Amino acid sequence: MKKIAILLASASLLATGAVSAEEPPVALTVQRLHVDLAVKAAQATIAHCRKKGLNVAVTIIDRGGHVQASIRDTMAMPITVPISKQKAYAAMNFNLPTSDLEGRFTSPFSPGKLEGLIMSAGGLPISAASSIMGGIGVSGAPSGETDQECAQAGLDAINADLEMGM
């Protein structure tokens, strides 16, 4: 008898919604990098590499993987554009510098073999207040480490704006 009373009480609470879990939101608010900041970061990246006598390409992508800014310096090779995009895409998706991904995926069917991802130094995630905002990728310097240094200069140019805006 006591079990029946407990079951009836539980059923009535469920029917009134008193015990129901909170409904998930219908839509989510996602922070996005403004195109003006993407352009500012790209220009700072190119300027930093030029000071080193280098012509590179830089691509800034948003959280959805869409290009917001892409600049290929005058003498940078055409192939630097898709490479910079793929570095930015990998950095954004893994939320890690692409230099941290080198050698991480070595099996024949690992993510490192997926089309559209390049996991060599030169890509950095863009984040603020624990939110992934996008990625920046650079290609064309003699080494991935120099690509990454240039990408960091681009990030440094917008970090204060990102922190103030969040």
Q: CA dihedral in degrees (136, 137, 142, 144; nearest 10)?
A: 90
First-to-last C-alpha distance (Å) of the chain = 57
Whole-model pTM: value is 0.80
Average pLDDT taken over every residue of the chain = 86
Residue 7 in any domain: the answer is: no
57: closest CA among 67, 66, 65? 67
Residue 24 in any domain: the answer is: no
- The boundaries of the domain holding residue 123 are 35-165
What are the pLDDT digits (tens) for 131-140? 999 999 999 9
Name the residue with higher pLDDT: 80 or 18. Answer: 80
Residue 19 in any domain: the answer is: no
Residue 82 in any domain: the answer is: yes
Residue 29 in any domain: the answer is: no
Confidence of residue 159 (pLDDT cuts 50, 70, 90): very high
Residue 2 in any domain: the answer is: no
Residue 134 in any domain: the answer is: yes
Say which residue the tokens 């603020």 belong to.
128
CATH number of the domain bearing residue 120: 3.30.450.150
Structural domain count of the chain: 1
What are the pLDDT digits (tens) for 87-130? 999 999 999 999 998 777 666 666 656 778 888 899 999 999 88
Residue 8 in any domain: the answer is: no
| Ordered strands of the 57-62 beta sheet | 67-72, 57-62, 131-139, 123-128
